[in-house]
Amino acid sequence: MSAYSVGVDFGTESGRAVLVDVASGAELATAVYEYENGVIDHYLPAPHDDVRLEPDWALQDPEDYVRTFQVTIPTVLAQSGVDAADVVGIGIDFTACTMLPTTADGAPLCTLEEFRREPHAWVKLWKHHAAQPEADRINAVAAERGELWLPRYGGKISSEWFYSKALQILDEAPKIYAAADRLIEAADWVVWQLTGTETRNNTTAGYKAIWSKQDGFPADAYFAALDPRFEHVVDDKMSRQISSVGQRAGELSARAAEWTGLPPGTPVAIANVDAHVAVPAATVTKPGTLVAIMGTSTCHIVLGDHTATVEGMCGVVEDGVIPGLFGFEAGQSGVGDIFGWFFDHAVPGGIHNLAGQGQISVPDLLEQEAAKVRPGESGLLALDWWNGNRSVLVDGDLTGLLIGATLATKPPEIYRTLIEATAFGTRAIIDAFESNGVAIDEIVACGGLPERNQLLMQIYADITGREFRLAASSQTPALGSAMFGAVAAGGAGGGYDSIVEAAGRMARLREESHRPDPQHRAVYDDLYAEYQELHDYFGRAGNDVMKRLKNIRARARAS
Amino acid sequence: MSAYSVGVDFGTESGRAVLVDVASGAELATAVYEYENGVIDHYLPAPHDDVRLEPDWALQDPEDYVRTFQVTIPTVLAQSGVDAADVVGIGIDFTACTMLPTTADGAPLCTLEEFRREPHAWVKLWKHHAAQPEADRINAVAAERGELWLPRYGGKISSEWFYSKALQILDEAPKIYAAADRLIEAADWVVWQLTGTETRNNTTAGYKAIWSKQDGFPADAYFAALDPRFEHVVDDKMSRQISSVGQRAGELSARAAEWTGLPPGTPVAIANVDAHVAVPAATVTKPGTLVAIMGTSTCHIVLGDHTATVEGMCGVVEDGVIPGLFGFEAGQSGVGDIFGWFFDHAVPGGIHNLAGQGQISVPDLLEQEAAKVRPGESGLLALDWWNGNRSVLVDGDLTGLLIGATLATKPPEIYRTLIEATAFGTRAIIDAFESNGVAIDEIVACGGLPERNQLLMQIYADITGREFRLAASSQTPALGSAMFGAVAAGGAGGGYDSIVEAAGRMARLREESHRPDPQHRAVYDDLYAEYQELHDYFGRAGNDVMKRLKNIRARARAS
C-alpha cells in the first residue's frame, strides 16, 4: 500500500502544501495560497482600512492560515490523484516568532467584532519590529539581574521574539492583553485548528520564548521586574506543557477534515519552524554539518551532542531541531537582500543592455562575469553588513562597507566581492562555533539563492574550506513538515518512528558538490585575515563610526 | 587704439588659442586643434606603427605643437576680425612635466630619421608613468643623503617629474641620452620655436626639476649618486639660466610669424604651466585664496609671502606663480574621475531611463536628486581615494572606501557622498596649509567640473567653511597665457607692466557665490571628524589593508 504525507509551510506572503510519497520522499504535488490580506503593514484590512498602523508594524490575518488549509490541501490531493485515505500524516511549519492573542477556545481576538479595529488583536508577524523598546527593557533587566539564560541567546533577545511582542501588547493595549486568555505562536495555533487541541512546540518555545528543557521559562520574578502585570504571563497566557517536535499533536478534527478533504483522525505533528524543519529535509540529523537556509537572509543550524555558549548565536535548544540533540542557530541578517540591493541600485545600464542582447538575466550575466574574476584579483573587500550583523556581533546598527575601489573597478568585481563578504560572514560564524567545541565539517545549503548560483556555492566552499552541498528539494521546509507528518503517523501507521529514519528515506542531496580549490583557499585565507581585522575594528568598538553615522543620520532626518 | 593678446594652452589631447582684448579681458575668439597623433600610448605613429610601447607609456608628437600654432592662431585672427598688427603679445602654457630630447638647435630627436623608431626620442607626456623605478631610486637616494630639498616636495618626487623621465632615458636608451644636447620641457620648447631662443621657465624648473631661486638645482654629487653618467645632467642637458614667469622670452621669429600670421617681433612670454597660469586668470594674485583647478583631478594653488613646509604638498616655488610670492601646490589625484567612474559603473538602468524620460543628462538628474539629500541624512561616508591620494598622504596605493551602506541606500546618496568625500579631501589639504601658517580664507575654482555642478560648489563651501567662487572664464589657462602675453608686451607696448595689473583688468569672477550654510557646517564638522579618523587609520599605517589588498591583487594577476 502506498503512503503519503502532507507538509504545509506557512511563509510571509503565502502558504504552501506539498504532498509527498512517504517511501521515497518524492514530491508529487505542490499548491500555494497567496494570503488574501498578505502582510498588513499600513492599514488594517477592509472594512477597517481607516485604521492606520505605526511604522515598523507587520501583522497577518489568521483567517489566511485557515484558508491556506482549505485551498492547498484539496488541491494537492486533486493534482496528485492520491486517495485521501492514503495520507498517513500532516505536519506544518511556520515563520517565528509569529504570535497572536486568542480566547481560551482558540478564537483569535481579531476575529471578534469588539476587537477587530484594534491592531494589537491581530497576528504579529515575525518581522513586526515595533517592539524594540520592550526588547531593550527585556535585555536591560536581564543583564541587571544576571539572568543565566541570556548567554543561550548570544547575549541579546530580539525585538522579533515572543516576550517583546507580548510586552508591547501589555504596554500599548492593556485591554487586549487582559482579554487574551492565550498568547500563542501561530505555528501552534494552526495545529490547534487542525486538531482541536492546544499544544506548544519546543522549537518556538526554546528559540523565541526563552524556554529550555532543563530550566523551563524565566522566573516569574524576572517577568515581574519587567512589569508587575507581566509576572504571571506564562501561567496566565501560555502553558508550561511543552511538546517536542517529532511527537504527534493529535488527530485531524471533523471540522478540519472538512476543510482539507482528509479523513478525520489523520495524525498531525507538533508544530515546527520553517528553518528548523528544513534541517532533516536537507538530510542532516547528526552533528558536524552546518545547514544554511539561504535566501534574503541566511539562517544557520548545526546540531551538537552537548550544549555550548557561542558568541552571537541566536539560540541553542535541546531537542529543538532533532530530538536527542542540541540545535544551535545563528544567522546573517542580509545575504540575498544585499545582492538584490546591488542589482537594483548599483548595476549600470550597460550591463542591463548586455543582458538584454544576450537574452540572459542581469544576475546570471553578472554571475558569468564575476566567475571570470580570480580570487583577490579585484583588490576589493566588503563587510556584509548592509542589514546589520546578526551573528556573531548581534548588532543591527552596523552597516555595509566596501574598500579597495579604484577607477578600474568593474560591477562584476563588486558583485563577486559582495558574495565573498557574505561567505566571510559565514566563516566567522563557523569559527565561533568551532572555537567553542561545536564541530562543522561540511555545509549543506537549501533555498533559492544557492540553487540559482553556482559561483556562490564555489566561493562559499573556497572561503569556508568546507565541501558545500545542496538539498535536492527546492521546498525543504514543506518537505520537512511532510516528514514530521510521517513521523506523527509512526511506523505502525504507515510512516516512520523517528525523524532520523524519515530523513534517511525521504531526504536527499543533489549529486553535485562544490569542494574547496586549494589555490583559492590560500588567497581567501589572506583576504579573510583582512576581513577579520576590519570586522573587529568596526564591529567590536575599535571605531564606532557606523553607529555615529547612524546617529548623524537620525538627527539629519529629524531636523 | 585697441590691443589684443593671444594665449595658447597646450593640453593632453589638443591645443587651444584664445584671442583676448587686453583692456577688458574679453575673449573674442577661440580655436582648438586636436593633435593629429593625440596621446601615443600603444604604437608609434605610422609608418612606425609596428613599434609597440610598454604599458604606462604616454608620448606626444612635437610636430602637433607646431601645428597647433599654425592652425589656431590664424583661426582666431580670422574669427575675430582683429588686425594682426594689434596683437601686442603671446603667452603659452603647457601640461607638465612634459619633456623631450632635442639637438642643440632645438630639433626634437624624434624628428630625425635615425631616431624616429625610438620611443625614448619622443615627447614624454606628463602622464607617462613608466619611470616609477627611477622615481623610487631618486627618492631613496635623496632620503639616504638627507637632501634638504625633499621637504619642499612633500617628501616625495613623482614618477611624472623631470629627472624620473630623464633617468629613464639614460637607463633604457643611453644612446638617445647621449645624442640629446638638450632635455627640455615642452613648454620651453614651444617658446623656443616661437622666438628662436632657448629659455627655461622657473615654474617647471621649480615644481618639476627640483630647482629653487635660493639653492638652484640639486648638487652634481646627488645626480652622480643616482648614476655616474647622470652627474652633469644639468650642465650637459639643461641650463642653469632660469627665467621667471612674467618676463619676456623674446620676440616672434620670422618663421613663427609665417606660421601664425602675426607680425615678426611680437613679444612672447616666458612659458608657463596650465594650472599655475590659471591662478591670475582666476583673479588671484595675493595670499589667502586657494585656487582649485578642478577636472578629472584637482590641482590646488595658494600664494604665500613666506615659504613653509606643508605635509604632502606637491611643491613650493618662489615666483613660481606670481613674481614676488611663494606658490604652493597640492593636489587630489581623483575628483571628476571618481564621479565619472560612478556614472559609468554604478548608476542603475532605472536612473538612465528616468533621465531619458526627463530629457536631462544622468549627471544632472543625479545632481538634482542628490541635492534633495540633507547633509548626514544618507548615513554614508567615503574616502576619495579611487585614484590614490596625492595630498596630503602622497600615496598612490591607497584606494576608495564607502562605509554606511544599507539596503535603503540610493544612488543619489552615493553620488552626494562621493562629492562630499572629495570636499573632505580638500579640507584636509586646507588644514595642512593652515596648520603650517599658510592662510586660506576663501576658494576660487575654475574648470568644467564646478561650472556644471551647483551642488558641488555648495557642498565644498559647506564642508570647507569657506566662500566658494568661480572664475568667469571657462578657459582660464588660455586666458592666463594671454594675460602673460600682455605682460610680455609691457605697459609701453600696449600691455601691462605686471601680472597683478593684468589680473586686475583682464580677470573676473562670476557674480554668483556659494557661502557655507551654518547648519550644514555643523553636520559636516561631525562627518569630517569621522573622515579624519578613517583617513588616518587607513592612510597613516593604522591598518595597511589597502596596500595588502593591492599586493594580493598583484599576486592574483600574476598567477
Q: Which of A353, A410, A552 sits opposite B523 (nearest CB)?
A: A552
- What ipTM is given for this predicted complex? 0.93
**In contact, B462 and B520? CB cutoff 8 Å:** yes
Interface of B with A in 276-335 (CB under 8 A): 334
For B101, B208, B221, the CA distances from B228, given in Å and listed in that order, are 20, 22, 9
3-state secondary structure of B501: helix
CA gap A458, A242 in Å, rounded:
41
- Of B96, B331, B110, nearest in space to B209 by CA: B96
Distance from CA of A329 to the nearest CA of B (A): 24
HEC-encoded secondary structure of A177-193: HHHCCEEEEHHHHHHHH
**In contact, B421 and B383? CB cutoff 8 Å:** yes
Mean pLDDT to the nearest integer, B274-285? 98
Q: Is B532 on the interface with A (CB under 8 A)?
A: no
Mean pLDDT to the nearest integer, B54-75? 96
CA gap A398, B407 in Å, rounded:
12
Per-residue pLDDT of chain A (559 residues; tens, 9 = 90+): 699 999 999 999 999 999 999 999 999 999 999 999 999 999 999 999 999 998 889 999 999 999 999 999 999 999 999 999 999 999 999 999 999 999 999 999 999 999 999 999 999 999 998 998 999 999 999 999 999 999 999 888 999 999 999 999 999 999 999 999 999 999 999 999 999 999 999 999 999 999 999 999 999 999 999 999 999 999 999 999 999 999 999 999 999 999 999 999 999 999 999 999 999 999 999 999 999 999 999 999 999 999 999 999 999 999 999 999 999 999 999 999 999 999 999 999 889 899 999 999 999 999 999 999 999 999 999 999 999 999 999 888 999 999 999 999 999 999 999 999 999 999 999 999 999 999 999 999 999 899 999 999 999 999 999 999 999 999 999 999 999 999 999 999 999 999 999 999 999 999 999 999 999 999 999 999 999 999 999 999 899 999 999 999 999 988 8
Q: Grid coordinates representing A115?
A: 476587537
Q: Grid coordinates representing B142?
A: 635623496
Q: Which of A381, A537, A538 sits opposite B549 (nearest CB)?
A: A381
Q: Is A555 on the interface with B (CB under 8 A)?
A: yes
Q: Which of B375, B377, B545 sits opposite A403 (nearest CB)?
A: B545
CA gap A20, A26 in Å, rounded:
6
Structure confidence by residue, pLDDT tens digits, B450-481:
999 999 999 999 999 999 999 999 999 999 99
Mean pLDDT to the nearest integer, B55-80? 97
Q: What was the pLDDT predicted at A349?
A: 87
CA gap A284, B201 in Å, rounded:
78
- Of A69, A60, A62, nearest in space to A17 by CA: A69
- Of A132, A443, A125, A97, nearest in space to A279 by CA: A443
- Of A3, A40, A2, A531, nearest in space to A267 by CA: A3
Interface test with B, best of A403, A535, A547 (most B CBs within 10 A): A403
Longest CA span, chain A = 71
CA gap B526, B376 in Å, rounded:
9
Interface of A with B in 6-45 (CB under 8 A): none
HEC-encoded secondary structure of B124-147: ECCCCCCCHHHHHHHHHHHHHHCC
Longest CA span, chain B = 71
Cβ separation of B381 and A545 shorter than 8 Å? yes
- Element holding B332 (H helix, E strand): strand B326-332
DSSP tag of A266:
-
Where are the alpha helices (H) located in A173-303, listed in sequence order? 174-179, 186-195, 202-208, 220-226, 233-237, 254-260, 274-281
Mean pLDDT to the nearest integer, B301-311? 95
Burial bucket for residue A213 (CB in 10 Å: 0-12, 13-18, 19+)? middle
Q: What are phi and psi of B505, to 5 degrees?
A: -100, -35
CA gap A371, B208 in Å, rounded:
44
Look at the alpha carbons of A74, A75, A78, A79 in this order and tell me if their dihedral is positive or negative.
negative
**Side-by-side strand order, sheet with A182-185:** A59-60, A123-124, A99-102, A182-185
Residue B1 has pLDDT above 70, yes or no: no
DSSP tag of A505:
H
3-state secondary structure of B315: strand
Cβ separation of A523 and B552 shorter than 8 Å? yes
Interface test with B, best of A332, A341, A399, A546 (most B CBs within 10 A): A399
Angle at B380 between CA B463 and CA A417, to 5 degrees: 135
Q: Is A338 on the interface with B (CB under 8 A)?
A: yes
Cβ separation of A346 and B348 shorter than 8 Å? yes
Residue B179 has pLDDT above 80, yes or no: yes
Mean pLDDT to the nearest integer, B429-455? 95
- Of A335, A332, A355, A334, nearest in space to A412 by CA: A355
Q: Grid coordinates representing B69?
A: 600654432
Q: What was the pLDDT predicted at A154?
A: 86
Cβ separation of B519 and A559 shorter than 8 Å? yes
The angle, 0 to 180 degrees and rounded to 10, between the axes of the packed helices A362-371 and A454-464 is: 40
Mean pLDDT to the nearest integer, B182-202? 98
Cβ separation of B546 and A374 shorter than 8 Å? no
Cβ separation of A399 and B405 shorter than 8 Å? yes
Cβ separation of B526 and A548 shorter than 8 Å? yes
Mean pLDDT to the nearest integer, B297-304? 97
CA gap B285, B322 in Å, rounded:
6
CA gap A208, A41 in Å, rounded:
22
Q: What was the pLDDT predicted at B541?
A: 87
- Of A55, A10, A54, nearest in space to A32 by CA: A10
In B78-212, DSSP assigns E strands to: 87-94, 99-102, 123-124, 182-185
Interface of A with B in 392-411 (CB under 8 A): 399-407, 409-411
Q: Grid coordinates representing A31?
A: 499548491
Cβ separation of B519 and A380 shorter than 8 Å? no
Mean pLDDT to the nearest integer, B76-105? 98
Residues of B in contact with A379 (CB under 8 A): 399, 549-550, 552-553
| CB within 8 Å of B154: residues ≥ 6 apart | B310, B311, B312, B313, B314, B315, B330, B391, B392, B394
Distance from CA of B39 to the nearest CA of A (A): 19
- Of A542, A550, A527, A534, nearest in space to B533 by CA: A542
Residue B368 has pLDDT above 80, yes or no: yes
